[in-house]
Structure 1
Amino acid sequence: MATWLRRRLTRAYERMLRQQLGTAPAHVAIIQDGNRRYARQRGADAPDGHREGAETTEQVLEWCEELGIEELTLYAFSTENFDRPDDELDPLFDLIESKLYEFADADRVHDNDVRIGAIGDVERLPQRVREAVEYAESRTAAHDGLRLNIALAYGGRAELLGAAREVAEDVAAGDLAPEDVDADAVERRLAEHTTRDVDLIIRTGGDERTSNFLPWHANGNEAAAYFCAPYWPEFSKADFLRGLRTYESREESWRQSRTERAVALLRAVAGTELNDATAVAGRLRGQLPSAGAREVSAELERQRDSEPVESAD
């Protein structure tokens, strides 16, 4: 197939996917997997794959800005990655360092009010990378647009353990009462840059697992997950839009399930007393999307119409 025709078909497919989408998820998290395998497949070295993957990262940032996504978290370097050989780690650290400086100084980042923050055990990183993190965070600290979180030296269990230790220390010091230890107390001690629950996790490279990534903000929120085969350097806008479509399909199914449960509850209550059903319907309507609220109202009307009419003596 000619290149020009392939491009036209790709753009048409992207437009079709875009038209199928409604509201975008607020927070998307991506596991950027497959850089090394992509390089090996082409007879290149791992650093070459990481460099091409960095170009994909820039494109994804543009797509998020275009689609109105409010927060993007990228799994760039896990705690397990420290086990890789130095001849792979050093070029990777060089790339992370240079991209942080590049992003921090990019006009597009400032024009779109992108705020950059790192999550993870940043102190384990080389000094030059820590300085680049500090520079990127300070340069964009005043921005209030898209939040770009970069997970570096990150491990979800380690993050939760760190928060648990802080809670225990505060209780022991008398700064936190045991009865005040709740979800909010833990969340306040998690990574400062992750501001909201994750709606969608995307993983490239073919593996169908979330790899200890954001267990509190993603798994705790039962985030939708989209696993796709392309290696990260091959990840396309169409792949991204398919991931968003997965999220939207999950949300539609979830909303429908909530509506069905609400109507079933209303029917059960109506079996005893219509006044109780009216009160329950009022509460349910406030908790459901507009379509679900309308269905609850319709069910209540059906029950009212089916009420026997008492004849006057």
Structure 2
Amino acid sequence: MLRWVRRQIQQAYVRHLDRAIEDGPTHVAIIQDGNRRYARQQGGDAPDGHRAGAETTEQVLNWCQELGIEELTIYAFSTENFSRPPAEREPLFDLIEAKLYELADADRVHDNGMRIRAVGEIDRLPDRLREAVDYAEARTKEYDSFNLNVALAYGGRAELLGAARDVLRSVADGDLSASDVNVDAIDARLAGQPVRDVDLIIRTGGDERTSNFLPWHANGNEAAVFFCAPYWPEFSKPDFLRAIRTYESREESWRHTRTERAVALVRAVAETELVEARTVSARLREQLSSTAARELNAELERQRDEPASAD
């Protein structure tokens, strides 16, 4: 009975949050932290946590499509993860490989026009995983309704460093002028393919850091960040909706701040122009007064010099 009551309360809360959402983010990026800790908490091993986390990822895809979010990036494997022991790394590679093939063949992916892409140093991955990446990308390359970016062997600093080196090579080879190095030139060299600016980063598991994740696309866009305590396998729809509301609240605050700044600017300009207008008006009045006085004096002189007319 108590479980049923809790479920009803949660469903009512979800409906409330759903109604509160008005204009959500376009691109959400998620650091899926806490899989291993969740597994230990449940008495299992790391692969058990990763499998449970994969189920949460499936749910998040559904929630994104329900809310009209157009792009999702998930941090599946970082460059730092290569330091983990093979006994933990290999089952994770197995899981990612299987999920890529599964998604690439799933009806809902094709029905919803979902494009699957991998971002990161893909050439560092095992051959079998690279083949799964190629398969998923090839099967969905024509779609553009929704983008799912899977960050694999990804590190933000490495990505920026690679882009900088590529730019330097292009300039040295004469293919790019130094004066043409701009945002678009860097964008074209990041992740191998275009990624929208990130509007919202979500990190589960309790840590409050963004861990070298999409620094160009997130920090450059001053993305909102939502940190929450649940481990990734425990991440729920209410958590997701709270994250969306965090983004909306930040945007509302920014809009209010921008409005205040705009009003202050208009007021400052108006006050400056008013002062200038008053100064010009005073000078004009002085000019008009002196001109009128000169005209009056000239008329008096003219009348004084004229001979009197005969009666």
Q: Name the TM-score, length of structure 1 as normaliser.
A: 0.87
Question: Which residue is 1:248 aligned to?
Answer: 248
CA drift at 1:24: 1.2
1:275–1:107 CA distance, 2 compared to 1 (3 A): farther
Q: Name the TM-score, length of structure 2 as normaliser.
A: 0.87
Structure 2 unaligned runs (5+)?
Answer: 278-284, 286-311
1:276–1:51 CA distance, 2 compared to 1 (3 A): farther
Question: Which residue is 1:285 aligned to?
Answer: none
Residues 1:233 and 2:230 aligned together: no
**In structure 2, distance between residues paired with 1:39 and 1:169:** 46
CA drift at 1:191: 1.4
Structure 1 unaligned runs (5+)?
Answer: 278-309
**In structure 1, distance between residues paired with 2:219 and 2:99:** 29
Question: Which residue is 1:77 aligned to?
Answer: 77
1:221-263 deviation per Cα after TM superposition (whole angstroms, max 9, x unaligned): 1100000000000000000000000000000000011000111
- Which one-letter code corresponds to 2:76 in the other structure? A
**In structure 2, distance between residues paired with 1:187 and 1:45:** 39
* Maintained 8 Å contact 1:115/1:147: yes
Q: Which has the larger radius of gyration?
A: 2
**Counterpart of 1:191 in 2: which secondary structure?**
coil
Question: Which residue is 2:146 aligned to?
Answer: 146
1:9-54 deviation per Cα after TM superposition (whole angstroms, max 9, x unaligned): 1111001011111111000000000000000111100000000000
**In structure 2, distance between residues paired with 1:115 and 1:96:** 16
CA drift at 1:192: 3.6
Q: How does 1:33-112 map to 2 (within 5 A)?
A: 33-112=33-112
CA drift at 1:276: 10
State, as a whole percentage, how many aligned pairs show the same letter: 72
CA drift at 1:194: 4.2
* Maintained 8 Å contact 1:270/1:276: no
1:247-305 deviation per Cα after TM superposition (whole angstroms, max 9, x unaligned): 0000000001100011111111111226999xxxxxxxxxxxxxxxxxxxxxxxxxxxx
**In structure 2, distance between residues paired with 1:276 and 1:122:** 63
- Which one-letter code corresponds to 2:81 in the other structure? N
CA drift at 1:91: 0.6
**In structure 1, distance between residues paired with 2:129 and 2:202:** 26
1:89-121 deviation per Cα after TM superposition (whole angstroms, max 9, x unaligned): 111000000000000000011110000000000
Question: Which residue is 1:131 aligned to?
Answer: 131
1:244–1:276 CA distance, 2 compared to 1 (3 A): farther
**Counterpart of 2:24 in 1: which secondary structure?**
coil
Runs of at least 4 residues off by over 6 Å: none
Give the number of aligned pairs: 279
**Counterpart of 1:272 in 2: which secondary structure?**
helix
**In structure 2, distance between residues paired with 1:222 and 1:145:** 25
* Maintained 8 Å contact 1:120/1:152: yes
- Report the aligned-residue RMSD: 1.7
* Maintained 8 Å contact 1:73/1:149: yes
Question: Which residue is 2:169 aligned to?
Answer: 169
1:122–1:276 CA distance, 2 compared to 1 (3 A): farther
Question: Which residue is 1:208 aligned to?
Answer: 208
**Counterpart of 1:75 in 2: which secondary structure?**
strand
* Maintained 8 Å contact 2:187/2:194: no
**Counterpart of 1:273 in 2: which secondary structure?**
helix
1:151-201 deviation per Cα after TM superposition (whole angstroms, max 9, x unaligned): 000000000011001100000000011111112211111114442100000
**In structure 2, distance between residues paired with 1:276 and 1:115:** 58
* Maintained 8 Å contact 2:73/2:149: yes
